[in-house]
Structure 1
Amino acid sequence: MVNTRRIYELSSGHKMPMIGLGTYLLTDKRSIWKIIDEALSAGYRLIDTAAMYGNEEEIGYALKKLLPKHHLTRQDIFLISKLPPTNHGDDALESLNETIRLLQCEYLDLYLIHWPGSSDCDPKDPNNAILRDKSWSKLVEAKQTGLTRDIGVSNYSIRHLEGLLENSYGEKPVVNQIEWHPHCHQDNMKKFCDENGILIQSYFSFGGSEKKLLLSDPTVLNISEKIGKSAPQILLQWSLQQNVAVIPKSSSRQHLHVNIDLDFVIPKNYMEKLSNLPQIRYGSDPNVVA
């Protein structure tokens, strides 16, 4: 059953589920089918993917077949994908059209710039700023023509966001998808996004490729035991209580159901303990991009 209380109204007025299904590293067609089938059954209504994940075609095929099975339509699902760093600039619209073709849908709900830098440039090259500005102008065009209902960014630092907002072509980003968990959270980023109507959506909620460091953290485990919820549930709820959206990935039927069962509250003192854990970034640092 869908938890309607976990719906967020974006600054555009469109509504987005705060809990979604992440699909990073999911590439096997049969596995994707099973996971999406179970996710739809569990109540997930947001699916996050990206051209770089190499699974858009598999997800599109699964949704085309599975939505009718679950008595759903395209309008019931919130689809997110991302512009790859290889297609910054003039190729951005072509990239979005290819994503829509692979996902077998007429539009996206949200299209993000995946990374502030271009694959064609050194991270310190000032051309990165020129190319992402061009990409944003193309995304604005895509929104105006209905290819995507909303546009946003991923892995943008405050500096990158400030640059975008100075020349946004009349469209502010509604989302910044970034690494966010108790081992890596930027309070100044949260404050900036809140002030500018940008929702933070978290990836690596469980700590990324070295996730055991976070899932086995003594503080996380202690709070998990005291509240009677699993460590993943604690980590997801910690984000949600700060109004940060989450997109956990799981190939386990049990975990898919547990990860969306988050109707509990973490007491303030436990929230503070989690927020004061040592800071460790598991993914790439976007601050190196000019």
Structure 2
Amino acid sequence: MASSSSPSSVVLSTGVQMPVLGLGTYKLWGPEEVYWAVDAALAAGYRAFDSAAVYRNEADLGRALKELLPKYGLTREDVFITSKLGPKDHGGKAMEGALHSLSQLDLGYIDLYLIHWPGTQGLAVDDKRNPEFHPRLCQTELRSVCDEYGVCFQAYSSLGKGELVTDPLVMEIAKNNERTPAQVLLRWAVQQGVPVLPKSSNPDRIKENARLFDFTLNKTDMNRLSALDCGQKYCWDPSEVV
């Protein structure tokens, strides 16, 4: 299998480097589950962790990292932490929301702080203003705009909330490359320079999802995956964001 030449990080407009591979923590709840997921992730080479105020796990993530970084000979500066402003804190409460996340994480600083949702609660899941990224939603126009303005385009729901891993084409390509369907889907994004945030609480899957940099999908497979694009979305209904 050919080795990969894809970079392990991307440079943001600020000049800061952000790892291409990060652990998504959505629905990782409770100190124990977060701790074991972070432990497995650090062991597998993850150096970025993505949280948010609405995930309600920032404090657990911060505690886990403070306990586990020394185990792997790492310091706070060796990891990249992302959190996000909840929709309820938009506007005049933004600073309060940011400081609350900073306090919950208790890691000194947050590397990247995002607006979690563009204040459009109540939109239907298939609304064109709800972006994500996977082979069934290639976001060609949005990525072009991001490139034009120097905005880093980052993927989430790369596995289609689990549905894409059973897609016959994805399974075929995975078999031919002796990889898992999840690795193929994540590699498809990374090979295009798009950072990914696979989420799992299973240590074996966390390790598997990190194996993205020692193989390359050929042009035919990349094109076949991209041809799955049909505008389908799997993201949550934003009316549920609180």
TM > 0.5 fold call:
yes
**Where does 1:34-49 land on structure 2 (aligned, <5 Å)?**
34-49=36-51
Provide the secondary structure at the position in 2 that maps to 1:79.
strand
Q: Is 1:186 aligned to residue 139 of structure 2? A: yes
Q: Is 1:268 aligned to residue 219 of structure 2? A: yes
Count of residue pairs brought into register by the alignment: 230
Contact persistence 1:48–1:81 (CA under 8 A): yes
Q: Which residue identity does 2:136 align to in structure 1?
A: H
Provide the secondary structure at the position in 2 that maps to 1:220.
helix
How far, CA to CA, are the matches of 1:47 and 1:114 in structure 2?
15
Unpaired runs of 5+ in structure 1? 124-154, 159-177
1:177-229: CA deviation from partner (whole Å, max 9, x where unpaired)? x5100112210011111111111111101102xx23x1111110111111111
Contact persistence 1:88–1:118 (CA under 8 A): no
| Matching residue within 235, 239, 245 for 2:185 | 235
Provide the secondary structure at the position in 1 that maps to 2:153.
strand
How far, CA to CA, are the matches of 2:66 and 2:197 in structure 1?
21
Contact persistence 1:181–1:206 (CA under 8 A): yes
1:253-274: CA deviation from partner (whole Å, max 9, x where unpaired)? 1111111111211111111111
How far, CA to CA, are the matches of 2:30 and 2:20 in structure 1?
26
Higher relative contact order (Cα pairs below 8 Å, separated by 6+ residues): 2
Indicate the residue corresponding to 2:152 in structure 1: 199
Contact persistence 2:6–2:190 (CA under 8 A): no
How far, CA to CA, are the matches of 1:14 and 1:4 in structure 2?
18
Q: Which has the higher strand share?
A: 1
| Matching residue within 215, 219, 226 for 2:176 | 226
Q: Which residue identity does 1:281 align to in structure 2?
A: K
How far, CA to CA, are the matches of 1:118 and 1:248 in structure 2?
25
Q: CA deviation at 1:31?
A: 1.0
Indicate the residue corresponding to 1:91 in structure 2: 93
Indicate the residue corresponding to 1:27 in structure 2: 29
Provide the secondary structure at the position in 2 that maps to 1:245.
coil
How far, CA to CA, are the matches of 2:128 and 2:168 in structure 1?
31
1:19-45: CA deviation from partner (whole Å, max 9, x where unpaired)? 000000001211111110111111110
Q: CA deviation at 1:250?
A: 1.2
Over aligned residue pairs, what C-alpha RMSD do you find? 2.2
Q: Which residue identity does 1:199 align to in structure 2?
A: C
How far, CA to CA, are the matches of 1:238 and 1:48 in structure 2?
20
* Moved beyond 3 Å, runs of 4+: 155-158
Q: CA deviation at 1:4?
A: 9.8
Contact persistence 1:157–1:189 (CA under 8 A): no
**Where does 1:146-165 land on structure 2 (aligned, <5 Å)?**
157=129
Contact persistence 1:86–1:118 (CA under 8 A): no
Q: CA deviation at 1:279?
A: 3.3
Q: Is 1:112 aligned to residue 114 of structure 2? A: yes
Q: CA deviation at 1:5?
A: 3.7
Q: Which residue identity does 1:250 align to in structure 2?
A: S
Indicate the residue corresponding to 1:253 in structure 2: 203
Q: Which residue identity does 2:88 align to in structure 1?
A: T
Q: Which residue identity does 1:265 align to in structure 2?
A: T
Q: Which residue identity does 1:238 align to in structure 2?
A: W
Provide the secondary structure at the position in 2 that maps to 1:108.
coil
Unpaired runs of 5+ in structure 2? none
Q: Is 1:280 aligned to residue 240 of structure 2? A: no
Q: Which residue identity does 1:58 align to in structure 2?
A: D
**Where does 1:107-146 land on structure 2 (aligned, <5 Å)?**
107-117=109-119
